Structure 1
Amino acid sequence: MMKTFGLGAVASLSLLLSCSNLPLWAQASLPGEQRTNGYDVEAAFEPQRQVLQGSSAVFYTGRKNFLYGVVMSEDGWILTKESDIHGAQDLSVRVDKNKYTEPKIMAKDGRWDLALVKIDAEGLTPVTFAESSAIPQGSWVIGNGSSSRANRRVSIGIISAKSRKIDGAAPVVMGVQLEEVENGLKINDVTADTGAAKAGLLKGDIITKFEGDTVLKRESLIEKILDNIPGDKVEVEYLRGGQKMTTEMELMAREDAFGEQQKSRNDQMSGDVSGRRNNFPRVLQTNLPLNSRTVGGPLLDLNGMCIGMNIARANRAESYAIPLEELKEIYHKLRKEASGN
């Protein structure tokens, strides 16, 4: 049945979006229900929406949904985005219309930004994987859009580039101004609401060690900081009034620490993007109009088969997904870790 999805969806969508006989002014003014996020267009992808309904998980913190996941097994194993679920409180999960409380994070893979979560469930419908993620550029793909508590909605786009590695990580900062002194790095200023401020560091403190390594030069500290990604927690040892103290600090992306003036023009136009959106070994790139709250779920082809997992909204034109080949490999690795094997 899944292999009949594609032709119907394409035919319906082509009919809805065909406007070659309309004047130019009308082509730019399609009724809302016929636009790419409109209800008439979404209706063409109802079979794929049904797959998302049963095989994508919605994570909640309290009453607010903030993340999706991929259902990997009938008994409640789910993959999701680790940097987003890390530290979240009062967690619950909905699969289809059923709610599951007290999900447990069982294992994680920082390289791919994945977390393996277990819920107490039976009889779920795991995703069905396609034979390969290597589908042509320009192919239609479907992911999760915004959802109500009962029903999933779709986000529609295309494969917009060849699969590739995404290098680099967002520059991270502590949020301090430093001066080299005889016994370490003296803090001359602490920026409000940064990792340093939240960790309790104050003007006049002298940083002596970072992750257990002695630091006497600004350059050496910067090198150590740049080995991390936003959200990483590090141990800092410092002197206050001659007394040795230690604190744990969360490193932040420069743009988050210092505001809009640190963003590129593209980022300023991109709206809500993922906190972790780079440094992936390989991704599928799509133009799905996701945001930080709609990543984490399956990426489907027109047959309703899973070709990957949406892992990041990068900017106004790019979203990234982990290809199914790597996703399956990581899942089996994390299952072994979770079972202690």
Structure 2
Amino acid sequence: MKFFGTILCLCASLSCSQILLFAGPALPSDERTNGKSLRPAFAPQQTALQDSSAVLYDGWFSFNYGIVVSEDGYILAKESELAERESVSVRIGEIHYTEVKVIARNPRWDLALLKVEASNLTPIRWAESSALPQGSWVVANGATSRYNRRINVGIISAKSRAVDGLAPVVLGIQFTEDESSLVVDIVTKDTGAELAGLKKGDAIKKFDGVAVMDRNSLIDLIRDKIPGDVAAIEFERDEEIFNVEVELMARNEAYADTHESRNDAMSGDFSKRRDAFPRILQTDIPFNARTIGGPLLNLDGECIGMNIARANRAESFAIPVEELREELAEMLPPVQ
């Protein structure tokens, strides 16, 4: 009690202005989580981000990050952010690569493998496991200047889990379930379904030669497709069977005018694709859609995952390192 009594006596002897001066001004919210005094503690992680992550550009506009996964220029990126980009280029460190090839795509995880002609790059260091307790510090890319990265820090804020969602690409129809088929209810304007001539009342029978019995069976067949793929659709109309080819579209493009929820409207800048992941790590790192895509680091500067989506104002998702490395191995070309 002696200590608290001393504090009370001290406060009683100070004026209001002296008390405010003693307490000091409150820091802005962004400085409390990623302030200048905090950043020097993460200098090793900043070096890893500088050397082993890539900035993706569309013209002069930086739109995402990527992860350097080999010395000779292979880079993991977020696939849905590459759609309709006019001229994608990459900066690693101080070097700007204007020739970028898309080597492989993985729609289930929203991944793309890019390639630039490079040598002696510094690949990311992989952690053995993504298993960190809730509350553990993690580090990622923040804003970037032409040559320098700013770190973005946060914590693991929830247990790893699956994130449900619909397939990332669509035919362009809304339907009801019949006993043995899906019956078209609405055909969305300017989609592959409309261009192929599908109409309300058509009963979808097969997708790429496989029988479609319900909503889940269609989602399973379409989940690994990417925008621009063409699917063979068999449907019944007036007791007659027809076959057409339908070009698939990205869900966010087909339904761009869909009314967003109040939560979305208040969440700020979230990712185009932010659901339907088999497993994610959740953090509270305050990303925006442009700073997603790079590595998520532990305090040893090792990559425990790839930041894959800004979900809302409080949640960011990363693909755990275990699944990320497994999918990367499938995407890399065979060693010659």
Q: Same fold (TM over 0.5)?
A: yes
**CA offset digits 1:139-192 (Å, max 9, x no partner):** 11111112122211211110111222223336976555789xxxx999897655
Between 316-325 and 165-174, report the one with greater CA deviation.
165-174
222-231 or 307-316: bigger deviation: 222-231
Aligned pairs (5 A) from 1:302-313: 302-313=299-310
Partner of 1:8: none
Q: 1:137 is paired with a residue of what secondary structure? A: coil
**For this pair of structures, how many residues does the alignment match?**
306
Q: Is the 8 A contact 1:308 1:323 kept in 2?
A: yes
| C-alpha distance in 2 between matches for 1:255 and 1:200 | 15
Partner residue, 2:267: 270
Alignment deviations for residues 292-326 of structure 1 (CA, whole Å, 9 cap, x no partner): 22211010112222111111112221111122222
Q: Which of 223, 231, 234 does residue 235 from structure 1 map onto?
A: 231
For the 8 Å contact 1:195–1:252, the answer to whether it is kept is no
Q: How far, CA to CA, are the matches of 1:302 and 1:208 in structure 2?
A: 52
Matches for 1:232-311 after TM superposition, within 5 Å? 232=227, 233-235=229-231, 246-253=245-252, 256-261=255-260, 263=261, 265-311=262-308
Structure 2: how far apart are the matches of 1:39 and 1:190? 52
**Would the alpha carbon gap of residues 129 and 111 (structure 1) be closer, same or farther in structure 2, given more than 3 Å must change?**
same
Equivalent-residue separation in structure 2 for 1:222 and 1:328 (angstroms): 31
Letter in 2 for 1:146: A
User: Within 5 A, what are the aligned runs for 1:320-339?
Assistant: 320-335=317-332, 338-339=333-334
The residue that corresponds to 2:165 in the other structure is 168
In structure 1, give the amino acid aligned to 2:273: R
1:123-138 equivalences under 5 Å are 123-138=120-135
Structure 1's 128 and 258: CA in aligned 2 closer, same or farther, altered over 3 A? same
Letter in 2 for 1:248: E
Which deviates further from its counterpart, 41-50 or 95-104? 41-50
Deviation at 1:36, TM superposition (A): 1.8
**Is the contact between residue 192 and residue 246 of structure 2 (CA under 8 Å) also seen in structure 1?**
no
2:56 maps to which residue? 59
Comparing 34-43 with 60-69, greater Cα deviation is found at: 34-43
Counterparts in 2 of 1:252 and 1:46: CA distance versus 1, 3 Å: same
After superposition, give the CA deviation of every residue in 1:29-86 in whole Å (9 maximum; x if it has no partner): 3147733243333344233222111110111122211121111111111111222224
Q: Distance in 1 between matches of 2:85 and 2:136?
A: 35
Change (3 A) 1:307 1:73: same
Q: Name structure 1 gaps, 5 residues minimum.
A: 1-21
One-letter amino acid matched to 1:252: R
Quote how far apart the aligned CAs of 1:98 are.
0.7
Helix, strand or coil at the partner of 2:37: helix
Matched to 1:307, the amino acid is I
Q: CA 1:269/1:260 → structure 2, altered by over 3 Å: closer, same or farther?
A: same
Structure 2: gaps spanning 5 or more residues: 1-18, 237-241
Matching residue of 1:93: 90
Q: Cα gap change, 1:224/1:326 in structure 2, threshold over 3 Å: closer, same or farther?
A: closer
State the identity as a percent. Answer: 49
- How well do the aligned residues superpose, as a CA RMSD in angstroms? 3.9
Say if 1:271 and 1:72 are closer, same or farther in 2 by CA, change over 3 A: same
The alpha carbon displacement at 1:119 in A equals 0.9
What CA distance in whole angstroms lies between the structure 1 residues aligned with 2:159 and 2:183? Answer: 47
Q: CA 1:54 to 1:41, structure 2 compared with 1: closer, same or farther past 3 Å?
A: same
The 1:177–1:298 alpha-carbon spacing in structure 2 relative to 1, beyond 3 Å, is closer
Alpha-carbon distance between aligned partners in 1 of 2:210 and 2:278, rounded to the nearest angstrom: 32
Letter of the structure 2 residue corresponding to residue 271 of structure 1? G
SS in 2 for 1:35: helix
Task: Check whether the contact 1:111–1:280 (CA below 8 A) recurs between aligned residues.
Answer: yes
Instruction: Tell which structure's C-alpha radius of gyration is larger.
Output: 2
Give the Cα separation in 2 of the matches to 1:177 and 1:103: 37
TM-score by length of 2: 0.73
Matches within 5 A, 1:182-197: 191=188
Deviations 1:271-302 (CA, angstroms, capped at 9, x unpaired): 22222222222221111112222211010112
Normalising by structure 1, what TM-score?
0.72
In the alignment, which residue of structure 1 is the partner of 2:7?
Answer: none
How big is the shift at 1:207? 8.6
